[in-house]
Amino acid sequence: MSFRRPHLLGLAGLEAEEIGDLLDRADSFWEAAGTPGWRATKSPATARLSAVNLILEPSTRTRCSFEIAEQRLGIEHLSVGDERLSLIKGETLVDTGRTLRAMGVNVFIVRHPEVGAPARLSEELPGAHIVNAGDGTGEHPTQGLLDLLVLRRRWGSLGGRRIVIVGDVLHSRVARSCVHGLAALGATTVLCGPRHLQPEAGGWPGSSVAEDLDDALAGADAVMALRIQRERFTAGEALPERAAYRERFGLTMERARRLPSETLILHPGPFNRDVEIDGEVIDGGRTEVWTQVRAGVAVRMATLTALGEALEASSVETGAPAGAWARA
């Protein structure tokens, strides 16, 4: 089953085959993702797309890789953040979306601090295709896909694998998307970190919760360290103390040395060196972190192509002009 949805809002609820289709597409863009100046031959599917990257929270990897993906696919696009938009004059997100829609924009890449903001746009902007590029503590599906891609390229298949995710899982949209994607593809996750930064045991599919990192790492196929998301802490939530946190939950050089060489080490970035992961571990060359960044371009090219093809197919089926699909 190929991915044929009008939006990519999350990995929760996607079938394994849909995820597999997006990963297959991303694999086909692997060389393109690492080649400066690569350009796709124009396809009718992507020629009809006009994208805006609506990035309303800080972003380096996601914003830049969407822009590069759009350029390499020859998709008309622009990137804007809130400091350059009338949102700061009091305009609502939906009115900003409608304004861009009236200019013919039909793909919205949306990063927003509120959970559900991209989903709201998908309901309010008929004919537009929305990609969630990170909504608060909600989901970050293209990040989840790029992590799955890196693992699948290493292992061939994810079935039966065990991945430890360590850190501030509670506030992490990356963790949530990963856990859903991994569960769909038959892998299990162990969520580890300070108890108050973990979801309720059993709350996330295919996952269990552990408090001791060294125990959790025994027999793990991969480990992903997460940043403490200070900006998402609410009043009353205690920030862990840096040195004590590193001691218990950091991927220190000492821990990295004890891991078998085949255990993969991931981090979505940005890193806080010597807190959740030692700078020496990153610089030592045995992590997947730069491969993850390259996978980000491939996955975003895959997502845009899949949306373009779905749009193309729906307008052929319904006879409706491209862009009118979500209304149909």
Residue from 77, 101, 161, 173 binding ligand ASP (CB under 6 A): 173
Q: Is residue 134 near ligand ASP by the rule CB under 6 A?
A: yes
Contact of 122 with 7, CB cutoff 8 Å:
yes
Least distance to ligand ASP, CB of residue 160, Å: 27
Residue from 112, 140, 161, 246 binding ligand ASP (CB under 6 A): 140
Contact of 213 with 219, CB cutoff 8 Å:
no
| Start-to-end CA span in the chain (Å) | 21
Q: Residue 57 has which token pair?
A: 């929270």
Comparing CB distances to ligand ASP, the nearer of 147 and 309 is: 147
Least distance to ligand ASP, CB of residue 305, Å: 23
Q: Is residue 227 near ligand ASP by the rule CB under 6 A?
A: yes
Chain center to CA of 42: 26
Comparing CB distances to ligand ASP, the nearer of 227 and 255 is: 227
Q: Is residue 149 near ligand ASP by the rule CB under 6 A?
A: no
Least distance to ligand ASP, CB of residue 202, Å: 24
Q: Is residue 174 near ligand ASP by the rule CB under 6 A?
A: yes
Q: Is residue 138 near ligand ASP by the rule CB under 6 A?
A: no
Least distance to ligand ASP, CB of residue 237, Å: 16
Number of alpha helices (DSSP H) and beta strands (DSSP E) in the chain? 13, 9
Which stretch of DSSP H or E encloses residue 55? strand 50-55
Contact of 69 with 301, CB cutoff 8 Å:
yes
Q: For the sheet with 188-192, list strands across it.
A: 207-210, 188-192, 162-166, 222-225, 264-266
Q: Residue 42 has which token pair?
A: 């124009």
Which residue's Cβ lies closest to ligand ASP?
Answer: 227
At 322 the three-state DSSP class reads: coil
Residue from 268, 296, 308, 323 binding ligand ASP (CB under 6 A): 268
Contacts to ligand ASP by CB under 6 A: 134, 140, 173-174, 227, 229, 268-269
